[in-house]
Amino acid sequence: MVTAGLAGSTPHMISATITSLSRLLFEFKAFLNPSLVSDLLKTMQMFVESSNREIVKSALGFVKVATVSLEPELLQPHLSQIVQGILTWSHEHKSHFKAKVRHIFERLIRKFGYEQIEAHVPEADKKLLVNIKKRRERAKRKKAANAEIESGEEEAETEAPITQRGKSYNNAYEDALYGSESELDDSEDEEEQEMGMGKEKRQKKEKVRFV
């Protein structure tokens, strides 16, 4: 059985097993016993808290796929553990894990609502949720504006639906694993932007003093 690989002797073997389980979950979720899904979610929480980054990367990917794919009633019993586990990696500045955590939160908010997710987030981390909420709203406004522009173009009306069908068929798993509902993957959060601006100003001042 594939799950035997979770007891592998190397981080690479464990990581590869988790990635395989992510794909199997996505493809065969309708046929899996709910108790098996529950056991997998519990096990992944342990790997999310691993000290090995290769394992953590795959484990976060599994959580992302599960969040996108599974019905709310299957995720609900594990919601608190999922939120607490992924929050561990939300504090790393300029980290790929931090972006992945944001994407998971986007999906959780979409599935359960902002208030329900917020209830599981400590006060010190709620700024992250506020930032995600702002960016989701901004992305929605941008999407609506683009839709209005494209509605008047004949090519968009005839060709876009065909392209979308091909994309959803061929890349559904990749979208579940890597996709984002907003622009979080393309830009830094407001806190990091402020830090970057502050650093740039300090560098300019130091340069002036040096000259």
Tell me what pLDDT residue 173 has.
76
Cα separation of 172 and 69, whole Å?
Answer: 10
Report the distance separating Cα 44 and Cα 31, nearest Å. 20
Residuewise pLDDT in 10s, the chain (211 residues): 677 888 888 999 999 999 999 999 999 999 999 999 999 999 999 999 999 999 999 999 999 999 999 999 999 999 999 999 999 898 876 567 888 899 999 999 999 999 999 999 999 999 999 999 888 888 888 888 888 787 766 555 554 554 444 445 447 877 777 776 555 444 444 444 544 555 555 555 555 454 4
pLDDT at residue 68, rounded to an integer: 94
Count CA atoms within 13 Å of residue 163 on its CB side: 6
Domains of the chain: 2-210 (1.25.10)
Q: What is the pLDDT of residue 211?
A: 47
Instruction: Write the secondary structure of the chain as one string of H (helix), E (strand) and C (coil).
Output: CHHHHHHCCCHHHHHHHHHHHHHHHHHHHHHCCHHHHHHHHHHHHHHHCCCCHHHHHHHHHHHHHHHHHCCHHHHHHHHHHHHHHHHCCCCCCCCHHHHHHHHHHHHHHHHHCHHHHHCCCCHHHHHHHHHHHHHHHHHHHHHHHHHHHHCCCHHHHHHHHHHHHHHHHHCHHHHHHHCCCCCCCCCCCHHHHHHHHHHHHHHHHHHHHHC
CA 167 – CA 149 distance, rounded (Å):
22
